Amino acid sequence: MGLSVRVKKKVNGFILDARWEIGDELAVLFGYSGAGKSLTLQLIAGLMKPDHGSIGLNGKTLFDSESGSNLATQERSFGYVIQNLALFPHMTIHENILYGAHGLSRTERDQRAGVIIDRFQIGGLDKKYPSEISGGQKQRVALARALIRRPAALLLDEPFSALDNPLRVEMQKFLKEIHREFPIPIVFVTHDVFEAYAIADKIIIYADGKIAQIGTPTEVFTKPANSDVELLIRTRNRLPQSVECASYDATSE
What is the domain partition of the chain in residue ranges?
3-77+151-252
Q: What is the CA radius of gyration of the chain?
A: 19
Q: In degrees to the nearest 10, what's the CA dihedral of 126, 108, 96, 144? A: 90
Q: Please give the C-alpha separations between residue 170 and each of 62, 135, 165, 241, 245, in angstroms, as whole numbers.
A: 34, 12, 9, 19, 26
Give, in degrees to the nearest 5, the angle at Cα 213 between 210 and 219: 165
Dihedral sign from CA coordinates of 220, 224, 229, 233: positive
pLDDT at 186: 98
Q: CATH for 3-77+151-252?
A: 3.40.50.300
pLDDT at 178: 92
Amino acid identity at 156? L
Q: In order along the chain (253 residues), what is the average pLDDT of each group of 10 residues? A: 96 96 97 94 97 97 97 94 87 91 84 88 89 90 92 95 88 93 95 91 96 95 91 65 40 31
- Across the chain, mean pLDDT equals 89
DSSP-derived secondary structure letter, 108: H
Name the nearest CA neighbour of 55 among 72, 47, 43: 43
In the chain, at which residue ranges do the beta strands (DSSP E only) sit?
A: 3-11, 14-22, 26-31, 52-57, 60-64, 69-70, 78-81, 153-157, 186-190, 202-207, 210-215
Name the nearest CA neighbour of 238 among 197, 209, 200, 202: 197
pLDDT at 211: 97
pLDDT at 76: 95
